[in-house]
């Protein structure tokens, strides 16, 4: 059931004590979009899945952009802090620890922004086809925060240099970054699921 009492329309599936996942969809997705992926990546985990509050030609997104690959950084900052507030409210409502973000495309970008702007909100992140969220990366303290970046070698949307820079920036902030380039485009593959599942499995429940 979709709920809207915490500031964002969302769905929540209780879990078994495994580290919960915050599911962040890509452009045009919604709060149901990544639930199957979440179940595949972390069977039994609680799933918190919000819908982006921005509409672009009727398609939900988590923040505005000015053009393809050109982000409205002021809006991104505001929406990332809004997302951090949503996570804090959801933790109180549902009694869950800090979640691990699992974000695709637009969702991966706001997850990266949230890591940088609100350290501690997320226990880590799996970033699927992300770009660098800010022209100038904010200073952040991410010591020990686990981050997996999965890029597509034939991705027509995200230049390889973007993901490489994001990996460097997060590592410079202290995150423990693993970056893999898969034989894929912008869409997800079975290899993404397998890599994400293996990554999440070694992260403790609390």
What are the residue boundaries of the structural domains of the chain, listed by start? 10-201
What value does the mean pLDDT take over residues 166-182?
97
The confidence score (pLDDT) of residue 205 equals: 62
- Mean pLDDT rounded to a whole number for the chain: 94
pLDDT-derived band of residue 113, with 50, 70 and 90 as boundaries? very high
**Arithmetic mean of pLDDT, 4-24:** 92
Residue 159 in contact with residue 129, Cβ under 8 Å?
no
Q: What percent of the chain has pLDDT over 90?
A: 89
pLDDT in the model for residue 67: 84
- Provide the whole-model pTM: 0.96
Band of residue 204 on the pLDDT scale cut at 50, 70, 90: low
The CATH number fitting domain 10-201, selected from 3.40.50.880, 1.20.140.10, 3.40.50.720, 3.40.50.1820: 3.40.50.1820
22-56 pLDDT, tens digit per residue, is 999 999 999 999 999 999 999 999 999 999 999 99
pLDDT of residue 3: 73
Work out the angle at residue 99's Cα, subtended by the Cα atoms of residues 98 and 103, and round it to the nearest 5 degrees: 145
Q: How far is CA 36 from the centre of its chain?
A: 15
Q: Is the pLDDT of residue 2 over 80?
A: no
Residues 6+ apart with CB under 8 A from 57: none
The catalytic residue positions are 105, 155, 186
pLDDT score of 203: 82
Does the pLDDT of residue 88 top 90, yes or no?
yes
3-state SS of the chain is CCECCCCCCEEEECCCCCCCEEEECCCCCCCCCCHHHHHHHCCCCCEEEECCCEEECCEEECCCEEECCEECHHHHHHHHHHHHHHHHHHHHHHCCCCCEEEEECHHHHHHHHHHHHCCCCCCEEEEECCCCCCCCCCCCCCCCCEEEEEEECCCCCCCHHHHHHHHHHHHHCCCEEEEEEECCCCCCCHHHHHHHHHHHHCCCCC
- Mean of pLDDT values over 144-149: 97
């Amino acid at each position: 059931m979709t709920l809207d009492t915490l500031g964002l329309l969302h769905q929540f599936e209780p879990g078994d004590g495994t580290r919960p996942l915050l599911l962040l969809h890509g452009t045009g997705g919604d709060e149901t979009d990544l639930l199957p992926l979440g179940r595949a990546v972390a069977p039994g985990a609680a799933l918190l899945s919000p819908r982006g509050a921005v509409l672009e030609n009727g398609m939900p997104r988590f923040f505005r952009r000015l053009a393809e690959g050109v982000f409205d950084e002021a809006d991104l900052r505001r929406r990332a802090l809004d997302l951090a507030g949503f996570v804090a409210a959801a933790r109180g409502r549902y009694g869950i620890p800090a979640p691990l973000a699992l974000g695709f495309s637009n969702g991966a970008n706001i997850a990266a922004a949230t890591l940088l702007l609100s350290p501690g909100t997320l226990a880590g992140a799996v970033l699927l086809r992300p770009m660098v969220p800010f022209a100038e990366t904010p200073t952040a303290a991410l010591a020990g925060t686990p981050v997996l970046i999965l890029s597509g070698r034939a991705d027509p949307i995200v230049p390889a240099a973007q993901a490489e820079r994001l990996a460097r920036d997060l590592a410079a902030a202290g995150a423990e970054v693993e970056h893999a380039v898969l034989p894929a485009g912008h869409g997800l593959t079975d290899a993404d699921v397998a890599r994400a599942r293996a990554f999440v499995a070694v992260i403790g429940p609390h």
